[in-house]
Amino acid sequence: MQKILLAAAAAGLLLACNNAGDSATETKTDSSTTALTPAVQSSVVTPLTDHEKTEGWQLLFDGTTKGWHKYGGGSLVWSADSTLHLDATVKDAGDIVTDDEFENFDLKLDVKIDTGGNSGVIFYVHEGVDSAKYYRSYYTGPEMQVLDNAKHPDSKIKKHRAGDLYDLISCSKESAKPALEWNQYEIKADKGKLDLYVNGVNVVSTTLWDANWKKLIAGSKFKQWPEFGTFKKGHIALQDHGHNVWFRNIKIRKL
């Protein structure tokens, strides 16, 4: 009788261990499934809210390259999924520009630059048949600088740091995050009044097309291109500077 009781107890203990193992396996499976959820969600472009739609915002990036083309023509080779990405291994990919032109606007976008990287957001960009005058997008439109301030040599040059109105006006405050971290950029241009924001901080304020604006250009590298900074309507360009760069949540509203 004692042997029978001992055998039953051993069988019960074995069954309990097996059940515990099954429970642990189920918990692990659930945990793994949960861990995958953020990655799946991050591959989806964030849609506009109802409030943003009411305010007149429109997406410039829907997860594809629809609405964009290579500046000056040719094949568009930037990749698109949850971000618009310039792959640094692709040579001469070229700047990418919106099909549409904008006059008075508020542009918001997130940008992430690679370690040691350089890029920019250029606006009031024009294209033309004269390749000498319009060879690069920055021959025509001002640029909000995107830069790794820690490791790119341009950071040593005044008016060339992240958030600067490139080669024209330095940031009043530096609020850019380091390389490989997302920064929110905003460019607001309304009837000649220009404001640049980095992560919600107003870093540059100026007036376009007045006597002071012309003086700024005359003292910059852009003085060699007579039409630079003169256009009051144009494309938005994302710059190929030979480094990995990512853009997302690109949206604009007309003012």
Given a contact cutoff of 8 angstroms between Cβ atoms, the answer to whether 62 and 82 are in contact is no
Predicted confidence at residue 43, as pLDDT, reads 53
CB-CB neighbours of 43 under 10 Å: 10
This prediction's pTM = 0.83
Supply 59's token pair.
């997406």
CA distance 156 to 160: 8
CB-CB neighbours of 233 under 10 Å: 11
Who contacts 14 (Cβ-Cβ below 8 Å, separation ≥6)?
none
Predicted confidence at residue 11, as pLDDT, reads 47
Supply 182's token pair.
């997302």
Which DSSP letter does residue 221 get?
G
Angle value at C-alpha 96, between 92 and 101, nearest 5 degrees: 150
Given a contact cutoff of 8 angstroms between Cβ atoms, the answer to whether 196 and 186 are in contact is yes
Supply 190's token pair.
């309304």
Name the residue type at position 96.
I
Tell me which CATH code domain 50-254 carries. 2.60.120.560
Who contacts 142 (Cβ-Cβ below 8 Å, separation ≥6)?
122, 123, 124, 165, 166, 168, 194, 228, 229
Who contacts 60 (Cβ-Cβ below 8 Å, separation ≥6)?
67, 68, 98, 109, 236, 250, 251, 252
Mean pLDDT in order along the chain per 10 residues (255 residues) = 44 43 37 32 78 98 97 95 96 96 98 98 94 92 98 97 98 97 98 98 98 98 96 98 98 98
Which DSSP letter does residue 47 get?
P
CA distance 186 to 171: 13
Which DSSP letter does residue 56 get?
T
Predicted confidence at residue 3, as pLDDT, reads 43
CA distance 255 to 239: 24
Domain boundaries of the chain, sorted by first residue: 1-42, 50-254
Coil/strand/helix, residue 166: coil
Tell me how far CA of residue 3 lies from CA of 6, 8, 13, 14, 192, in angstroms: 5, 9, 15, 17, 96
